[in-house]
Amino acid sequence: MHNDRDVTEQRLARVLNERLRPAVHARSVPLDVAVWDVSGEPVPVHEGLAAPFRPARVGDRWGPAWTTSWFKVSGRIPEEWAGTSVEAVLDLGFSPHSPGFSAEGLVYRADGTAVKALNPRNIWLPVVEVALGGEEFVAFVEAAANPVVMHTGPDELTFGPTAVGARAPWLGDPASDPGEPLYRLRRLDLAVFDRGVHELVQDLDVLGQLMHELPAESPRRWQILRAVSQALDAIDLQDVSGGAVAARAALAPVLAAPAHASAHRLSAVGHAHIDTAWLWPLRETVRKVARTVSNVTQLMDDHPEFKFVMSQAQQLAWLKEHRPEVYARAQEKVKTGQFLPTGSLWVEPDTNITGGEALVRQFVHGKRFYLEEFGVETEEMWLPDTFGYNAALPQLMKLAGVRWFLTQKISWNTTNKFPHHTFWWEGIDGTRIFSHFPPVDTYNSDLSGAEVAHSVRNFQDKGGSSQSLIPFGYGDGGGGPTREMLARADRLRDLEGSARIEMEKPADFFERAHAEYEENGGAPVWSGELYLEFHRGTLTSQLATKQGNRRSEHLLREAELWAATAAVRHGHPYPYDALDRLWKTVLLHQFHDILPGTSIAWVHREAEETYAAVARELTDVTGAAQRALAGPPGGTVIFNAAPHARGGVPALGAGPRPEPADTPVPPVADGDGFVLDNGLVRVTVDGRGLITSAYDIAAGREALAPGAVGNLLQLHQDFPNQWDAWDVDVFYRNTVRDLTEADSVTATGEHVRVVRTFGDSRIEQTLTLPAGSRRLVIDTVVDWHEREKLLKAAFPLDIRAAHSTAEIPFGHVQRPTHTNTSWDAAKFEVCAHRFLHVGEPDWGAALVNDSSYGHDVTRDVRADGGTTTTVRLSLLRAARFPDPDADQGTHRLAYALVIGADLTDAVREGYRFNLPERTLPGSAAVAPLVRVDHEGVVVEAVKLADDRCGDIVVRLYESRGTRARATLTPGFPLASVTATDLLERPLDDPTSHQRSDADIQLTLRPFQILTLRLRPLPGS
């Protein structure tokens, strides 16, 4: 037999695309169409249904960007269609190459009931299963003209404004929209749904894809090829429907052949990754959620085996608020076990930049929503798409009652392939969580033959395990699974040559995978952070958004602390509802495309406005509580929300300052520069405004490397290969401009003021050295108008540091300063929260900041034999995509060099820098609600219990990575103390604390997080 494989495969592709797929809806009649274009924001459904429609027709253009058009489609089923299944085919003209970005239509019945969503590969609508003939049909479509910002072709992405031509300036900002329609109506018909042809299409689709993945020499491939050839011979291309039965019969034997006993098992889980904001605003995500849930619940009616996970509580809360009838459908399907609330989080947040207490509240509000709304205790952290994972997460997961962790993004690593797909992830405290990375390498699988085969080939843990998970369904912009995907899953359940696919709950997969590993000697372990070798620019992009989050996190801490203190001390009303609402607002904006700075201009503009409103309200909450505490006039009361005492004011307490304030020391002229000297450290600033000496007087040690200068601002070209707002590529270091020229360097009272101009930008910095402090503060105002540039501040230190120590939530991580391995070299830009420390065993320095996260640390050996460790802080970027004007404008930020600092100093100074003292008129001394006698044990939160019973909840952690014995002393008569989980439920933890009279003795392991619920004595 001659080899006709290529001919048959080409024949299959053409027949499928040009004859069979069109034949599924071959018999059709056009619908009558009318349209109403909404001016401005979307309108309620009832308004859209009652709108003044005007006639329209196929071929009409519609939809300037970000607008909504309502379509009314109506018609009559022909009498001759009696006994057939009838569907509507509604192709609104969305781009077919980006189905997960264009799930932008939602169909309603005349009574306003949502039926299902429309996207480019899901354009059918059920009308009647068995037509009588003559029935009237009417439906309404709410169609959003959302632009596809990034995609331009089937396999092409665009990453910059020039790539998308004239549309670029307005794609992410409706204020600049020229008003041109984006889409054109393609097809609006009533059609007979030919089920036999549809099933034949699915048979050939699955077999054709499987065939392409089998080796050319595989007998199974040739068996499928012969069957496909026979099936194609059985089809009359002028009467496809008439040959469908015979064609399917030719395929039946190869479809019936079972998978091999050793075939990999894939747990298929329906999913629709919906970015809570990204290339669309928050308001559009509210509608995307309604479309997607309508779509999947409709599929569940016809496919009882179909299971679908929904992983962000915020999205379901929106659904409940805005579309209660769609939410009711989800609740119905939760009861049948098909719709699975999943993930345990309020949104899918960024986990590098989000602070520790905020991550706690992500779990608290996420899990609590699922418990209250569905009675479901979620046990997994479902976070497929975020840009790295901090090493405190395993402990946080365990304390939230989470057993399993799923993500996928590590497959995007550009240097090192992660060695496992199923493993134990060990955090900084030793907690381990059973984790899985789906080897399909996408969270938007369509269950194609290529993706199924890739899952098997790519799986790293063969031998130890025989199964993995595959999330399937169109996503990013939503949509979810289609009936074609479900057809593939059905045919691949047990098919020779393929992995076995079974639709099931994630928990079923995790339980079985865990048990299998236990039988095979246990799963491998990965210890420490899961660093993503990609998207490092997200630590710096959109500074204003990051500042809003950092400020909000600390304002929430203050508001809870002082409101709880005022409630206990004076019966001041505790603002439960306001704090709950404000926390959820902040948590929402920690979504992994908002906080990292990778959304369109619209999203970040709204975020800045929201953060400003949050700050105003939290300032009011804090002010009201502090006024209740400050007492009658007569002096000044200092409030210290930091977890360490300062200036004689206790941690978490307030009172008149018993010691002189740490006022800045005045600069003294020194040649063409100035000296700042407070008796502890001496800092010299030269005529260029650069630090030439940072001398630790007590230690007799210079911090800066010989001949080097500190606070050197450096400007790099920043044009990554792709993903502009996301990426900083290592070659940025190849070009650098040192900003050494100053317009002016002057002494202004207690500061040294330095002004620099460069390009189209201006920087003004004031350098301040407080009395009694080792902290040189650099307050910076930047009028930033550069493009595709990265601004860093460098401190070359005379330190031989083997590693840097960076703050992460509830602790720190150490990263090598060398580049011995590719894993070390890939960490050329790293995350640190409030501090980054480098040091030798007996001396070190820390860089603290109030709003920056990106850092890099390099190490060089000098000619004199000494070592220079250079610590740099990333201040600003100027990406052009997806926001062409990202970071443009005026910013104020601050950072400080702490000279002669150990790790305890770094922790303390980081908190102090972000929690400045507040002063109010008054005369009262306010004792803290709790005191801790160990400087390494940090109180992270003090609040009243969420159940409103009046208990005080205290969350603390060991910050230095050592064991700690400490005493916690409540500032009120104590009735009882209980260790709890993050949701403030009792936890069996007999070793961490022991009550002793009025005190609580704490025994903490390194980096342990402990939440205590303190019940005051009644009447106290």
Residues known to be catalytic? 385
Euclidean distance between CA atoms 675 and 694, whole angstroms: 10
Tokens describing residue 542: 């959109």
Q: In this structure, how many other beta carbons lie within 10 angstroms of the beta carbon of residue 995? A: 12
Tokens describing residue 645: 């005492």
Phi-psi sector, 480: left (phi>0), alpha (psi -120 to 50), beta: left
- In the DSSP assignment, the letter for residue 599 is S
Beta bridge partners of 803: 816
Euclidean distance between CA atoms 296 and 119, whole angstroms: 13
Query: Is 188:91 a contact under the CB 8 Å cutoff?
Result: yes
Three-class secondary structure of residue 765 per DSSP = strand
**Read out DSSP for 44-103?**
-HHHHHTS--EEE-TT-EEEETT-EEEEEEEEE--GGGTTS-EEEEEE----TT-GGG--
Q: What is the CA radius of gyration of the chain?
A: 31
What is the phi/psi pair of residue 339, to 5°?
-95, 120
322 class by beta-carbon count within 10 Å (0-12 exposed, 13-18 middle, 19+ buried): middle
**End-to-end CA, the chain:** 95
Residue (of 643, 638, 560, 565) closest to 931 by Cα position: 643
Write the CB contacts of 682 (distance below 8 Å, at least 6 apart in sequence): 675, 676, 693, 694, 695, 697
Euclidean distance between CA atoms 345 and 362, whole angstroms: 5
Residue with tokens 């390494």: 936
Question: Strand locations in 616-679, DSSP E?
Answer: 636-640, 653-655, 668-670, 673-677
Euclidean distance between CA atoms 556 and 940, whole angstroms: 11
Euclidean distance between CA atoms 125 and 122, whole angstroms: 9
- In the DSSP assignment, the letter for residue 523 is -
**Read out DSSP for 464-521?**
TB-EEEEEESB-BB--B--HHHHHHHHHTSS-TTS-EEEE--HHHHHHHHHHHHHHTT
Residue (of 1007, 966, 1006, 1012) closest to 989 by Cα position: 1012
What is the phi/psi pair of residue 246, to 5°?
-65, -40
Q: In this structure, how many other beta carbons lie within 10 angstroms of the beta carbon of residue 607? A: 25
Give the amino acid at 791.
L
Euclidean distance between CA atoms 935 and 905, whole angstroms: 10
Euclidean distance between CA atoms 297 and 293, whole angstroms: 6
Euclidean distance between CA atoms 321 and 222, whole angstroms: 55
Write the CB contacts of 9 (distance below 8 Å, at least 6 apart in sequence): 208, 211, 212, 225
Query: Is 753:763 a contact under the CB 8 Å cutoff?
Result: no
Give the CA distances from residue 454 to residues 269, 447, 448, 460, in Å, rounded to whole numbers and listed in that order: 17, 11, 10, 11
Residue (of 793, 813, 804, 815) closest to 846 by Cα position: 804
Question: Strand locations in 179-331, DSSP E?
Answer: 181-184, 187-192, 265-270, 308-310
